[in-house]
Amino acid sequence: MKLNGEALCEWGFFKFDLYKIALWLENTCSDSEEILQRDEARCLELRFVRSLDEGDMQKAYRESFRVNATSLEKKQFSREIKIFIDGVKAAPKRSSMRIESLPGLGITIIQGESKTLIESSKGFQDLVFRMYLGEKPPTKDVRKGLLGQHPPKVLPAE
């Protein structure tokens, strides 16, 4: 996989740093729609610069699903959304979280020793990545960064 883009997610009036995020793709691309249309492996890697408890993490993902999923998707993927939210754990400072999307398999959330596999269709996998690459990401800078448009360097390549 190749590093597509990276960003720093800042939150609130005082722009508190929450996490650094990187998007890894089989083939790099700066067009979010094209990334979502492709049927290939994708990975989001979050590295936390501030501790976030499990409740805050789950609340943030619940809200992100609420604003990014259509009414039909909320019904169609209610089981997968619940498993995803329940699979998100606390994020201590300097910890990481990976969200992997594998064609024909589903979404895997990896945090430390915790690993949650959500067997799911491409539609649910796209919804998860749309939360970062779509019209309602955590911040516009996160979306731009993941698409390789801003900032030039935040995380070291691995």
What pLDDT, in 10s, does the model give residues 91-141?
A: 999 999 999 999 999 999 999 999 999 999 999 999 999 999 999 999 999
Written in H, E and C, the secondary structure of 102-140 is ECCCEEEEEECCEEEEEECCHHHHHHHHHHHHCCCCCCH
Q: How far is CA 87 from CA 5, 52, 122, 143, in A?
A: 25, 15, 19, 23
Q: How many domains does the chain have?
A: 1
Q: What is the CATH number of the domain that holds 122?
A: 3.50.70.10
Q: Which of 8-12, 86-90, 146-150 is predicted with the least confidence, judged by mean pLDDT?
A: 8-12
* Residue 154 falls inside a structural domain: no
Structure pTM? Answer: 0.90
* Residue ranges with strand state E in the chain: 2-11, 16-25, 42-48, 96-102, 106-111, 114-119
- Structural domain includes residue 157: no
In a domain, 105, yes or no: yes
Residue 132 lies in a domain: yes
| Assigned domain for 158 exists | no
Q: If DSSP codes are grouped into helix, strand and coil, which group holds residue 32?
A: helix
User: Is 117 a member of any domain?
Assistant: yes
Map tokens 């259509």 to a residue: 70
Kindly indicate the confidence band of residue 11, based on its pLDDT and cuts at 50, 70 and 90: confident
Cα–Cα distance between 95 and 73 in angstroms, integer?
31
- Residue 102 lies in domain: 2-146
Residue 152 lies in a domain: no
The 3-state DSSP class for residue 56 equals: helix
pLDDT digits (tens, 9 = 90+) for 70-85: 999 999 999 999 999 9
Residue 155 is assigned to a structural domain of this protein: no
